[in-house]
């Protein structure tokens, strides 16, 4: 649904120096999914999302939304410009600071994009009321933004973003100005809209909890580049994944040189099985749990656990093989093991540095 290819954005600073905000970004967001781009301030997230709907013109590269090359439209004449406006009207945008007009009622704010598109008044009014009901604010139609809470203002912003019946909804740090409880309610609303309307949602955030709460897929961005991306399940199954580590952080060091420390990643059916207790009983070994991080994502329990086994790795090849046979991802922690052959054919267990 959304694809960027070699996307680059270079700004000119006041001193004439070039600042590269996007450096060859390749991104693919599938139809109907909620995709989160996470990174710290200055990573290029805002530039990316503003280039997707061409609020910012990319320096180079291509942006395709719903099969239409927006960057190609931007580079042609007047007719193409009209086509670009029509294409952009099918992309909703939710802003961090709401961007509501204080002099207009809630209903009038939702009607604004329809007014710009030349939709007749009665049709605008009917559509705005439907959208306000959809976001749970039917009773606030005649109120003004100044009379609303932060969460209510953001719901108005979401309703306004849906006015053009978009196929894609972009969210620019939509919850960063909200308290935790309100954030959860807005994220749940976005997920509900994704499911009810079949919306493809691309959101940017610096909060891992946002990714854990509603995202099907995610990408980590740093210094204008995508460092890694994939579905949450794929990331959790990738040895050494930075995103997996940040989503489910675990820590803990070996209690002695004659101990084996491993990280075990649970997802799918294995997350609901008593695998660790089965391991202990089957091989009659004492297992120490050094740390764990579990959560429910997309209705499935997912998490990571760091455990310590007695003895060096050479003495624990069979127990580690048992864990992998249960469908678990196993990473050996430390530098004593460079590469350990897997049991029964799966890919090797990779070393992960402390």
What are 339's two structure tokens? 């590469």
What are 295's two structure tokens? 């959560």
Q: Round to whole Å and give the CA distance between 193 and 220.
A: 24
Residue with tokens 């069979």, as numbered in its chain: 318
What domains are there in the chain, each with its CATH number?
Answer: 2-236 (3.40.50.300), 248-352 (3.30.70.260)
At residue 298, the pLDDT reads: 61
Higher pLDDT, 328 or 346: 328
Q: Mean pLDDT score of the chain, rounded to an integer?
A: 86
At residue 255, the pLDDT reads: 84
User: What count of other Cβ atoms lies within 10 Å of the Cβ of residue 181?
Assistant: 8
DSSP conformation letters of 178-225: S-HHHHHHHHHHHHHHHHHH--EEEEEES-HHHHHHH-SEEEEEETTE
| pLDDT at 147 exceeding the cut of 80 | yes
8-17, 124-133, 259-268, 269-278: range with highest mean pLDDT: 124-133
Calculate mean pLDDT across residues 179-193. Answer: 92
What are 235's two structure tokens? 């990331």
| pLDDT at 231 exceeding the cut of 70 | yes
Cβ distance 276 to 307 under 8 Å? yes
Percent of the chain past pLDDT 70, that is, above it, reads 90
At residue 76, the pLDDT reads: 56
Residue with tokens 């961090």, as numbered in its chain: 96
At residue 253, the pLDDT reads: 85
Low-confidence winner among 17-21, 225-229, 252-256 (lowest mean pLDDT): 252-256
| pLDDT at 270 exceeding the cut of 50 | yes
At residue 343, the pLDDT reads: 40
What are 269's two structure tokens? 């059916």
- Beta-strand relationship, 34-38 and 200-205: parallel
Q: Round to whole Å and give the CA distance between 284 and 29.
A: 47
């Amino acid at each position: 649904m959304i694809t960027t290819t070699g996307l680059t954005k270079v700004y000119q600073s006041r001193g004439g120096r070039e600042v590269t905000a996007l450096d060859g970004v390749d991104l693919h967001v599938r139809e109907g999914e909620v995709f989160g781009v996470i990174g710290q301030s200055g990573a290029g997230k805002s530039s990316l999302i503003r280039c997707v709907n061409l609020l910012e013109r990319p320096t180079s590269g291509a942006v395709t939304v719903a099969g239409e090359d927006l960057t190609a439209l931007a580079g042609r004449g007047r007719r193409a410009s009209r086509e670009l406006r029509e294409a952009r009207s099918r992309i909703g945008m939710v802003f961090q600071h709401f961007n509501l007009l204080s002099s207009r009622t809630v209903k009038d704010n939702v009607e604004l994009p329809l007014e710009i598109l030349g939709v007749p008044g009665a049709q605008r009014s009917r559509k705005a009321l439907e959208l306000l009901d959809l976001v749970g604010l039917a009773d606030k139609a005649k109120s003004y933004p100044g009379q609303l809470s932060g969460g209510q203002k953001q719901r108005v912003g979401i309703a306004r973003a849906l006015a053009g019946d978009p196929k894609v909804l972009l969210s620019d740090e939509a919850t960063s100005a909200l308290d935790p409880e309100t954030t959860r309610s807005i994220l749940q609303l976005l997920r509900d809209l994704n499911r009810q309307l079949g919306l493809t949602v691309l959101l940017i955030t610096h909060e891992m909890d946002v990714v854990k709460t509603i995202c099907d897929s995610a990408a980590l961005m740093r210094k204008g580049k995508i460092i890694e991306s994939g579905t949450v399940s794929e990331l959790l199954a990738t040895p050494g994944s930075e995103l997996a580590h940040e989503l489910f952080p675990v820590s803990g060091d070996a209690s002695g040189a004659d101990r084996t420390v491993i990280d075990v990643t649970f997802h799918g059916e294995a997350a609901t099985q008593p695998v660790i207790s089965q391991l202990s009983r089957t091989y009659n070994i004492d297992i120490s749990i050094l740390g764990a991080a579990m959560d429910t994502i997309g209705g499935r329990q997912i998490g990571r656990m760091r455990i310590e086994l007695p003895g060096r790795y050479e003495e624990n090849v069979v127990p580690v093989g048992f864990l992998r046979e249960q469908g678990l991802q196993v990473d050996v922690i430390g530098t004593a093991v460079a590469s350990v052959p897997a049991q029964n054919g799966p890919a090797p267990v990779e070393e992960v540095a402390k």
